[in-house]
């Protein structure tokens, strides 16, 4: 990736270790991946409040629920794909009890790269969004990651799923940015169409918008980090003002960002929506940035799909 | 510990009441799990009326002892125990499993005295492990209890939690297994044989105590021994009878999850419980 890139998981590790200095109620759990998830930073600073539960994710999640029920502020981490085996612990012990436990996972999506399909989860946002009481955030960069962790600590006491990646991502937010659940960020204004993206796909979408500009198409680009709750007003405004929406996510086009945008437009302001993402398929080994092109999710693909949607709409307009 | 000192005979009367109320609840609801409620009644009576420090006037007293009913289908017995202990009026018990009531089919966090929602097996022990770690972090003197089923330990997550409790030397945690030998589909020995459970737990680093789970003195002594054991968690292997006290329910897998099937069977169950020890 071009530009100034920074690691989201390092941002998480540093931020939770920083918060841990002032707040002794913070406890962190991991399942034998702390050097990868970066909870090891907290672990080496506060070993008495760091619990490596071993390769036992179900135990980690149930224990997280118990710690939270006893008043601790719990952060539990592993790779996204491995947290999914604890769906039922998350459902019953965490979400039904509605406890203050945050699940900050890393290595989500196809940017795990060479590790291949077994580790490239692209279903997790859908799985987590379906849980009552669970909120879901997909940060775009290191600045947003730190802000999310700060916000969750300072202002929330319910379960959250925060999806981070192995790869470093370009820093798109300024240092003063502050995250809020249910609020999106418009990175580029435009009137012909809107690209709603999150995670890695935001910087791709900004590059795609530049390509579209050369073809006379003026695209708005929104970072929708907060998938649940979603910034409903921003989606409706995009539909009303630009008439066409493209969604872009490093996730299945089913049950993730794209599906949720479609739910809002169908419900409140129907417009055409094209979804860019994984099409009901598993990933594969490769360099992470090659995989975006392989799965037709790269910059050129976003631009092409956006242009097709734009021309198609115009064609209908000229017929009528 | 409970303020009033109950004699063994009084504890037995309370257990009898827990059993009768459990039967009334499942019959009124036309559903529910009587077998595992009857098997755990004596243990619950000792815990809540003799051993545990709980305060019905302030159910969230920060220094209280905590109990997680990991076998969450034993909700009738736990609800009956909590109401008899004064956490909520016994007149609410007939609401069990009904739409107007908080008394959910499986143990529910919204009920006064309940520490965590449970019902999907294999999770409550992990919750108790988290609570025990939290108590240690806060240097609290309270104790944490988990009641697990002997079918429930077929869940791999239970063994993950056994490992964790041992690693973190949770001597403030006592786990009681309701070893009644029966699960929904049949006998545990046939569904998934798991012999030598006490040896397995010793191999996992636990202090293991074997008792008759219907003997008030043995239950009491084991809980005291658990309290006095330092450095390791305690596992109380309580041999029990599924459906204890109702002849046609005893050792009968059918009554894992079925109420008395007729008014006659219902009256018979109440009569046998009343006449029992």
pLDDT at A203: 97
Which residues in chain B have their CB less than 8 angstroms from residue A71's CB?
A: 134
Nearest CB to A93 within list B127, B132, B164: B127
The proportion of chain B whose per-residue pLDDT surpasses 90, expressed as a percent, equals 98
Which residues in chain B have their CB less than 8 angstroms from residue A49's CB?
A: 137
pLDDT at A272: 96
pLDDT at A320: 43
Which residues in chain A have their CB less than 8 angstroms from residue B109's CB?
A: 96-97
pLDDT digits (tens, 9 = 90+) for B93-149: 999 999 999 999 999 999 999 999 999 999 999 999 999 999 999 999 999 999 999
Nearest-Cα residue of chain A relative to residue B66: A70
- Judged by average pLDDT, the poorest of A187-191, B1-5, B44-48, B98-102 is B1-5
> Over the Cα atoms of chain A, what is R_g?
19
Nearest-Cα residue of chain B relative to residue A60: B126
Which residues in chain A have their CB less than 8 angstroms from residue B124's CB?
A: 62
Which residues in chain B have their CB less than 8 angstroms from residue A53's CB?
A: 160, 164
| pLDDT beyond 50 at A311 | yes
Q: How confident is the model at residue B4 (pLDDT cuts 50, 70, 90)?
A: confident
| Structural domains of chain B, with CATH | 8-275 (3.40.50.970)
Q: How confident is the model at residue A315 (pLDDT cuts 50, 70, 90)?
A: low
| Structural domains of chain A, with CATH | 5-170 (3.40.50.970), 185-319 (3.40.50.920)
pLDDT digits (tens, 9 = 90+) for B206-228: 999 999 999 999 999 999 999 99
ipTM of the complex: 0.94
pLDDT digits (tens, 9 = 90+) for B176-196: 999 999 999 999 999 999 999
Asked if B163 lies within 8 A of A63 by C-beta distance, the reply is no
Q: Are A127 and A156 in contact (CB under 8 A)?
A: no
Asked if A66 lies within 8 A of B134 by C-beta distance, the reply is yes
Nearest-Cα residue of chain B relative to residue A29: B130
pLDDT at A39: 98
Mutate to test the interface with A, among B127, B144, B153, B204 (most CBs of A within 10 A): B127
Question: What's the whole-number average pLDDT of chain A?
Answer: 96
φ and ψ at A297, to 5 degrees?
Answer: -130, 10
How far does A11 lie from chain B, in Å, by closest CA? 26
pLDDT at A2: 62
pLDDT digits (tens, 9 = 90+) for A238-269: 999 999 999 999 999 999 999 999 999 999 99
B132 touches chain A (CB under 8 A): yes
Residues of A with CB under 8 A from a CB of B: 27, 48-49, 51, 53-54, 56, 58-59, 61-72, 88-89, 91-93, 96-97
Which residues in chain B have their CB less than 8 angstroms from residue A66's CB?
A: 68, 116, 126-134
Q: How confident is the model at residue A314 (pLDDT cuts 50, 70, 90)?
A: low
Locate tokens 């499942």: which residue? B26
Average pLDDT over residues A170-194: 97
Q: How confident is the model at residue A312 (pLDDT cuts 50, 70, 90)?
A: confident
pLDDT at A3: 77
Q: Are B118 and B70 in contact (CB under 8 A)?
A: yes
Asked if A69 lies within 8 A of B115 by C-beta distance, the reply is yes
pLDDT digits (tens, 9 = 90+) for A5-36: 999 999 999 999 999 999 999 999 999 999 99
Average pLDDT over residues A256-283: 97
Q: Strand, helix or coil at B69?
A: strand
Q: How confident is the model at residue A313 (pLDDT cuts 50, 70, 90)?
A: low
Nearest CB to B120 within list A54, A56, A92: A92
How far does B274 lie from chain A, in Å, by closest CA? 37
- DSSP character string of B171-240: TTEEEEEEE-SEETTEEHHHHS----HHHHHHHTT-EEEEEETT-HHHHHHHHHHHHH--SS-EEEEEE-
B142 touches chain A (CB under 8 A): no
From the list A157, B226, A45, A66, the residue with the least C-alpha distance to A53 is A66
The proportion of chain A whose per-residue pLDDT surpasses 90, expressed as a percent, equals 96
Average pLDDT over residues B25-42: 98
Asked if B123 lies within 8 A of A70 by C-beta distance, the reply is no
**Among B residues 100-119, those touching chain A with beta carbons less than 8 Å apart:** 109, 115-119
How far does A83 lie from chain B, in Å, by closest CA? 14
Question: What's the whole-number average pLDDT of chain B?
Answer: 97
Asked if A58 lies within 8 A of B133 by C-beta distance, the reply is no
Average pLDDT over residues A162-168: 96
Which residues in chain A have their CB less than 8 angstroms from residue B152's CB?
A: none
Average pLDDT over residues B245-250: 98
How far does B81 lie from chain A, in Å, by closest CA? 21
């Amino acid at each position: 990736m071009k530009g100034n890139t920074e690691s989201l998981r390092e941002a998480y590790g540093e931020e939770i270790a920083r918060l841990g200095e002032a707040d002794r109620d913070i406890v962190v759990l991991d399942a034998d991946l702390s050097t990868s998830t970066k909870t090891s930073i907290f672990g080496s600073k506060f070993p008495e409040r760091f619990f490596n539960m071993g390769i036992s994710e179900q135990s980690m999640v149930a224990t997280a629920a118990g710690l939270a029920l006893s008043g601790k502020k719990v952060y539990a981490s592993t790779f996204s794909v491995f947290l999914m085996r604890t769906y039922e612990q998350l459902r019953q012990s965490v979400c039904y009890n509605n406890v203050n436990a945050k699940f900050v996972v890393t290595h989500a999506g196809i940017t795990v790269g060479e590790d291949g399909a077994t580790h490239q989860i692209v279903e997790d946002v859908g799985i987590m969004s379906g849980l009552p009481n669970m909120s879901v955030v997909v940060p775009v960069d290191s600045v947003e990651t730190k802000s999310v962790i700060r916000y969750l600590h300072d202002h929330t006491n319910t379960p959250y799923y925060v999806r981070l990646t192995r790869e470093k991502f370009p820093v798109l937010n300024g240092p003063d940015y502050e995250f809020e659940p249910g609020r999106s960020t418009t990175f580029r204004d435009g009137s012909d169409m809107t690209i709603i993206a999150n995670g890695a796909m935001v910087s791709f979408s900004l590059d795609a918008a530049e390509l579209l500009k050369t073809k006379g198409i003026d695209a708005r680009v929104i970072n929708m980090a907060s998938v649940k709750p979603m910034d409903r007003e921003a989606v409706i405004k995009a539909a009303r003002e630009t008439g066409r929406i493209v969604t872009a996510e490093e996730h299945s086009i089913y049950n993730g960002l794209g599906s949720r945008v479609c739910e809002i437009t169908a419900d409140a302001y129907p417009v055409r929506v094209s979804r860019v993402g994984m099409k009901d398929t598993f990933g594969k080994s490769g360099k992470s940035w090659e995989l975006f092109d392989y799965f037709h999710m790269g910059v050129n693909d976003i631009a092409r799909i956006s242009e097709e949607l734009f021309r198609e709409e115009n064609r209908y307009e000229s017929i009528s | 510990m409970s303020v009033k000192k109950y004699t063994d005979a009084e504890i037995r009367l309370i257990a009898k009441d827990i059993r009768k109320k459990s039967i009334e609840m499942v019959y009124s609801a036309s559903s529910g799990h009587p077998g595992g409620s009857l098997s755990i009644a004596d243990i619950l009576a000792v815990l809540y009326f003799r051993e545990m420090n709980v305060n019905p006037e302030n159910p969230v007293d920060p220094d209280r002892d905590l109990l997680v009913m990991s076998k969450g289908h034993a909700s009738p017995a736990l609800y009956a125990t909590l109401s008899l202990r004064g956490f909520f009026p016994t007149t609410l018990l007939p609401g069990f499993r009904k739409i107007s009531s908080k008394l959910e089919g499986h143990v529910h966090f919204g009920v006064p005295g309940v520490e965590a929602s449970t019902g999907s097996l294999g999770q409550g022990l992990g919750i108790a492990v988290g609570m025990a770690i939290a108590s240690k972090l806060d240097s609290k003197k309270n104790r944490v209890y988990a009641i697990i089923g002997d079918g429930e330990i077929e869940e791999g997550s239970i063994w993950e939690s056994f490992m964790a409790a041992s690693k973190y030397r949770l001597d403030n945690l006592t786990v009681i297994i309701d070893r009644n030998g029966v699960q929904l589909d049949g006998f545990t020995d046939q569904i998934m044989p798991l012999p030598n459970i006490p040896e397995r737990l010793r191999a996992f680093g636990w202090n293991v105590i074997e008792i008759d789970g219907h003997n008030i003195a043995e239950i009491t002594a084991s809980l005291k021994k658990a309290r006095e054991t330092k450095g390791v968690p305690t596992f109380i292997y309580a041999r029990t009878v599924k459906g204890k006290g109702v002849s046609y329910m005893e050792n009968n897998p059918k009554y894992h999850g079925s109420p008395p099937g007729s008014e006659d069977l219902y009256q018979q169950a109440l009569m046998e419980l009343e006449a029992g020890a």
